[in-house]
Amino acid sequence: MSLFSRLFKVEEKKDSTQIPPEVLPLRNDLCWCGSELKYKKCHMDKDQVYLEEKRQKELAAKKACSPVYG
C-alpha cells in the first residue's frame, strides 16, 4: 500500500474479481461497484467486454452440443 493511499484512505479497486450484476445500471446512474462514479465513467466498458466474452462462450458451447449433419 502506498503512502498516498494510506494518508488519504484511497481504496484500490479489484476489477478482475468483480462480476457485474444481472441488471446493469443506466449510463448516468451511479456505478454498481460503490465507487460513487457514474456507470459510464467506471465499469460500462469493462462490463460490455465481460458480457461479450460470456456470450461468445455460450455460443461456442451451444455449437459444440448441436447435431452435425452431412
For residue 65, name the pLDDT band (cuts at 50, 70, 90): confident
> From the CB of residue 49, how many other CB atoms can be counted at a distance below 10 Å?
10
Q: Which of 16, 33, 15 is nearest to 24 (CA)?
A: 33
Q: Please determine, for residue 39, whether its predicted confidence score (pLDDT) is greater than 90.
A: yes
**What is the model's pLDDT at position 1?**
55
How do residues 21-31 score in pLDDT, each as one tens digit?
989 999 999 99
pLDDT of residue 63: 82
> Regarding predicted confidence, which is higher, 46 or 11?
46
Evaluate whether 58 touches 27 at the Cβ level (below 8 Å). no
Is residue 9's pLDDT more than 70?
Answer: no
